[in-house]
Chain A
Amino acid sequence: DTGVSQDPRHKITKRGQNVTFRCDPISEHNRLYWYRQTLGQGPEFLTYFQNEAQLEKSRLLSDRFSAERPKGSFSTLEIQRTEQGDSAMYLCAGGQGATTEAFFGQGTRLTVV
């Protein structure tokens, strides 16, 4: 158990709808990452938080995507006006202090129909 919880585990939505995912790391995880993974590919970086500050965003993160980490604890990832190409596994990972390791949650599988 990595201590990183994601909710929901699965989400099916219609194209054009908005969806929001939640990630709850352990309290020691001052670093938090969001990744996206499609079938047969490695995870792709989306965004990174250190405490509540969003320090880095990938070019993959279009203006339909927004992430927040209020109070430096849980984080949310929202996708507006979903498209079929957004179908993927969305992974959250937490990291502690100065260490470099990141520990992943079980992911949220999004299917856009």
Chain B
Amino acid sequence: EDQVTQSPEALRLQEGESSSLNCSYTVSGLRGLFWYRQDPGKGPEFLFTLYSAGEEKEKERLKATLTKKESFLHITAPKPEDSATYLCAVQVIQTSGSRLTFGEGTQLTVNP
């Protein structure tokens, strides 16, 4: 069964204090790994898709990387507006459908 585990469950940072969120996965065949940001009471907002080990993508203060077993979301010099829950999801190679299997998320709080 496909599994996605995110750590830590919650992370508190001071403004400007860089850190990383982890997403480890066990799947039969990875088609893509996705990062989403979710604010309270809202739907997930798409951030990145990574397809192969060694791939990296950046957007503002965020950089996502992928290995064969895990992905990291690096946050450089975070600001309070980066506070949100960050969700990791995997999409596996299947004969039909393309569901995403999500982890439970990391709740990030950035204090000013």
Contacts and interface: CB of A to CB of B under 8 A. Distances in A.
Interface of A: 2, 4, 6, 31, 33, 35, 40-45, 48, 50, 55-56, 58, 91, 93, 95, 100-107, 109
A33 B99 contact: yes
A55 B97 contact: yes
A106 B43 contact: yes
Contacts, number: 68
A58 B97 CA distance: 11
A101 B99 contact: no
Contact of B96 (A6, A56, A101, A106): A56
A102 B46 contact: yes
Interface string B56-77: 0000000000000000000000
B21 interface: no
